[in-house]
Amino acid sequence: MFDISSIYQAQSVADAIRALEQDPGALVIAGGTDVLIKVREGKLAGCRLVSIHGLEELKGISQAPNGDIEIGPLSTFRDVTYDKIIRANVPVLGEAADMAGGPQLRAAGTIGGNVCNGITSADTASTLVALEAVLRVRGPRGEREVPISRWYHGVGKVDLAPYEVLTKIVLPRKGYEGFTGHYIKYAMRSAMDIATLGVSCLAQLSQDKRETRQVRLAFGVAGPVPMRAPGAEAAASNRPVEQALAAIGPAALGDVSPRSSWRASREFRLQLVEELSARALAEAMRKGGAQV
């Protein structure tokens, strides 16, 4: 039995925005895999909800004429994983989405929710950061676009006003074209777990596959929000692949500042950052045809 004061099922995005304007204290619920847990825990007990669940205009994944990929935020993790456009162009995102929770959660939880909850351990977040995704949000005064680098404000806080709704996650063509990627979810279990560290690496290789061109590296759980590792990227970009592999881990240590908690110590997380950065890069480059 959930302690919910009220729930309003929006008929459209515009309707949802209207409802949120009328009740600024209300929360948006989509797949419910975060909100209902918090209601049960008591953190959101007695809350008022506006449901966008089932709104067709927020579903679907398509490719724009300019090559940008537009992901409807109500796409479930499973939708993302099995989508043809994702598999053909950014398989790494589908692989990351396939690591969230278990099959039931992946059938209900949405990629939009994964981005809007502002959680550093969100399995798709670090890959979206590496892909330089753009978030399109709509409010009473129309739409605006937010680059993911400006999206995360802090733990659980994103660049979304109480009366705004995420309408698209856009993967710009330049963010993914020519890259191969790999996501490592390091967790205590092989399923039904949250990441101790998430590492997403995208790599672009030279024609002969012996050197790196651009390398992008992003982490979940290495800080309060999903983050890029600029030092590591610089150390690993435009280098012979072996050099890039040797350099990326130590350089990544300078980019992150994980904290000790009862879940994992800072020292342990740093060890993982160093080791897994290199492993993610190696796998990303292997997928791109490098011999490593």
Partner 1 sequence: MEVGRAYTRVDAADKVTGRARYTDDLHDGPMLVAKILHSTIANGWVKSIDTAAARALPGVVKVLTCFDAPQIQYPTPGHPWSTDPGHQDVADRLLLTRRVRIYGDDIAVVVAEDEVTARRALKLIRVEYESCPVMLEPEQAMEPGAVPIHEEHPDNILKRTETVVGQPDEALSDPALLHFEGHYQTQQVQHCHIENPISYAYMEHGRITVVTSTQIPHIVRRVIGQALGIGWGQIRVIKPYIGGGFGNKQEVLYEPLNAWLTTQVGGRCVKLDVSREETFQNTRSRHPIRFDIKAAVSSQGRIMARECVAISNQGGYASHGHAIVANAVNGFRQTYPDAVGHRSVAYTVYTNRPAPGAMRGYGIPQCDFAGECLMEDIAREMNWDPYQFRLKNIMPLGYVDPTNGITCYSTALARCMEKGRDFIRWDELRAKYQNQTGPVRRGVGMAVFSYKTGVYPISLETASARIVLNQDGTVQLQLGATEIGQGGDTVFCQMAAQAIGLPTERVNIVSTQDTDTAPFDTGAYASRQTYVTGKAIKKAGELFREKVLSYAREMLPQAGELDLRAGEIVDGGSGESLLTLEELAMEAFYSLEHSVHITAEVTNHCKENTFAFGCCFAEVEVDIPVGKVKVLRIVNVHDSGRLINPKLAEAQVHGGMSMGIGYALSEEMKFDPATGRLLNGNLLDYKLPTAMDHPELTALFVEDEDPSGPFGNKALGEPPAIPVAPAIRNAVLHATGVAVNTLPLSPQRLVEEFRKGGLI
CB of 38 to partner 1, least distance (A): 13
Q: Is 48 helix (H, G, I), strand (E, B) or coil?
A: strand
Least distance from partner 1 to the Cβ atom of residue 271, Å? 6
* Largest separation between any pair of C-alpha atoms in the chain: 61
- Indicate the residue type of 126: S
Least Å from the CB of residue 187 to partner 1? 9
Q: Which is nearer to partner 1, 40 or 144 (CB)?
A: 40
Under the binding rule (CB under 8 A), the answer on residue 188 touching partner 1 is yes
Distance CA 180, CA 222 (A): 22
Burial of 253 (0-12, 13-18, 19+ CB in 10 A): middle
Going residue by residue from 248 to 287, which x/- string records binding to partner 1, judged by CB under 8 A?
--------------xxxx-xx--xx--xx-----------
Q: Which is nearer to partner 1, 68 or 193 (CB)?
A: 193
For 291, counting Cβ atoms within 10 Å of its Cβ (0-12 exposed, 13-18 middle, 19+ buried), the class is: exposed
- In terms of CB distance, is 205 or 272 closer to partner 1? 272
Run of H or E residues at 36: helix 35-41
Chosen residue from 66, 190, 207, 291 binding partner 1 by CB under 8 A: 190
Nearest to residue 259, comparing CAs of 220, 218, 219, 223?
Answer: 223
Stretch that binds partner 1, among 47-55, 130-138, 193-201, 212-220 (CB under 8 A): 193-201
Q: With CB under 8 A as the rule, give the number of residues binding partner 1.
A: 26
Closest listed residue to residue 50, CA positions, set 23, 77, 73 = 23
Q: Please, which residues have CB within 8 angstroms of residue 42's CB and are 6 or more apart in sequence?
A: 3
46 part of the interface to partner 1, by CB under 8 A = yes
Which region, judged by CB under 8 A, interacts with partner 1, from 83-91, 106-114, 155-163, 183-191?
183-191
Site string for partner 1, 92-121 (x = CB under 8 A): ----------x-------------------
229 binds partner 1 (CB under 8 A): no
**Minimum distance, C-beta of residue 43 to partner 1, in the bound complex (Å):** 12
Q: Which helix or strand (DSSP H or E) is residue 13 part of? A: helix 13-22
CB 215 within 8 A of CB 126: no
Considering beta carbons, is residue 153 or 263 the nearer one to partner 1?
Answer: 263
Backbone angle region of 23, left / alpha / beta, with phi > 0 → left and psi within -120 to 50 → alpha: beta
Give the footprint of partner 1 on this chain (CB under 8 A): 1-3, 42, 45-46, 102, 186, 188-194, 196, 262-265, 267-268, 271-272, 275-276
